[in-house]
Amino acid sequence: MKTLILGGTREARDLAAIASGEQGFDVVSSLAGRVRDPLLPVGAVRVGGFGGVDGLREWLVANEIEAVVDATHPFAGIISAHVAAAAADLPLVHLRRPSWSEQPGDRWIRVPDLPTAAKTVAAQGNRVFLTIGRQGVGVFAGLTRPWFLIRAIDPPEVTLPPKHELLLARGPFTVADESRLLADRRIDLLVTKDSGGDQTDAKLTAARSAGLPVVMVDRPPLPEGAVVLENVAQVWDWLRSAAEQSG
Ligand code: NAP
């Protein structure tokens, strides 16, 4: 079964590694091309946008795709909406790792989006650790009072807030490293997206231990009626039964 995996996540790479080795599956992974030196999935890979819903629909037809797995990051809301529209006639599943959940000792401030996160920072942040990736950092550019520690894999290509330090690093990070960072930079507020998973959650444990508030940005919604599974094993089962049904 010719399968497209929309990727850019560890789950997408894990799924590609499983499916690429299986008889009866012909898998191609797709990356947006945002990261300069991406971790590449096993097997065939294409890189770059499709050109909106119409471009994606054409690409699916031209490449005779029979099933699609949207294994993009929970905050990649546009491509998830695009694929729901473009692959409406195909078996399609969205792989979404569970959200993070608050634990005793956490001081989370849940906000619906980045602009609301910026308002919260303006109101109560002095030394702010911004761990939202490099996209979206521009929303904080107008905040001239707080100092920011901005962590991203590649340098942001947008205007940054005037007082900041840029830290280029790729997770996973340890709790000890995160705790040291919070203490060294005298952080008093952490801002993160609710990415979920265990690759980048050490900062939450460190913030809890330090008693720091965390501005937690909620995920964008998935398209209505979307089929959603939360881990690679479930999606692999789903793919195998889709292959059986397609005969
Ligand atoms: P997005 O806002 O949902 O999508 C913007 C545009 O990027 C889409 O319209 C599409 O362009 C292109 N695109 C996105 N994902 C693609 C993919 N897997 N293959 C081909 N084209 C793709 O996406 P984003 O938030 O910029 O994320 C881009 C990529 O980075 C995704 O693969 C995602 O899994 C990964 N990622 C994102 C985050 C995050 O926080 N957003 C974090 C880690 C990894 P066209 O309209 O031209 O098709």
CATH number of 73's domain: 3.40.50.720
pLDDT tens, 12-25?
999 999 999 899 99
Shared domain for 202 and 129, answered yes or no, is yes
Shared domain for 212 and 143, answered yes or no, is yes
- Is pLDDT above 80 for 134? yes
pTM of the entire structure? 0.93
Residue 88 CA neighbour count, 13 Å, CB half: 9
Q: Are strands 2-6 and 147-152 parallel, antiparallel or unpaired?
A: unpaired
The protein residue whose alpha carbon is closest to atom 16 in ligand 1 is: 32
Shared domain for 127 and 191, answered yes or no, is yes
Shared domain for 52 and 30, answered yes or no, is yes
188 Cα: distance to centroid of ligand 1 (angstroms)? 31
pLDDT tens, 67-107?
999 999 999 999 999 999 999 999 999 999 999 999 999 99
Q: In the prediction, which pLDDT does 182 show?
A: 98
pLDDT tens, 143-184?
999 999 999 999 999 999 999 999 999 999 999 999 999 999
Q: Are 50 and 42 in contact (CB under 8 A)?
A: no
Q: What percent of the chain has pLDDT over 90?
A: 94
Shared domain for 72 and 115, answered yes or no, is no
Shared domain for 181 and 167, answered yes or no, is yes
Structural domain including 73 reads: 2-98+221-246
First-residue to last-residue Cα distance in the chain: 9
Q: Token digits for 129?
A: 């650790």
Q: Is residue 131 lining ligand 1, measured as CB closer than 6 Å?
A: no
Q: Per-residue pLDDT averaged across 211-234, rounded?
A: 97
Q: Is residue 49 lining ligand 1, measured as CB closer than 6 Å?
A: yes
Q: In the prediction, which pLDDT does 35 show?
A: 86
Shared domain for 112 and 202, answered yes or no, is yes
Which atom belonging to ligand 1 lies closest to the Cα atom of 51? 47
Q: Is residue 73 lining ligand 1, measured as CB closer than 6 Å?
A: yes
Q: What is the number of domains present in the chain?
A: 2
Question: Residue 124 is part of a domain; what is its CATH number?
Answer: 3.40.50
Q: Is residue 221 lining ligand 1, measured as CB closer than 6 Å?
A: no
Q: Is residue 12 lining ligand 1, measured as CB closer than 6 Å?
A: no
Q: In the prediction, which pLDDT does 21 show?
A: 83
Q: Are 60 and 87 in contact (CB under 8 A)?
A: yes
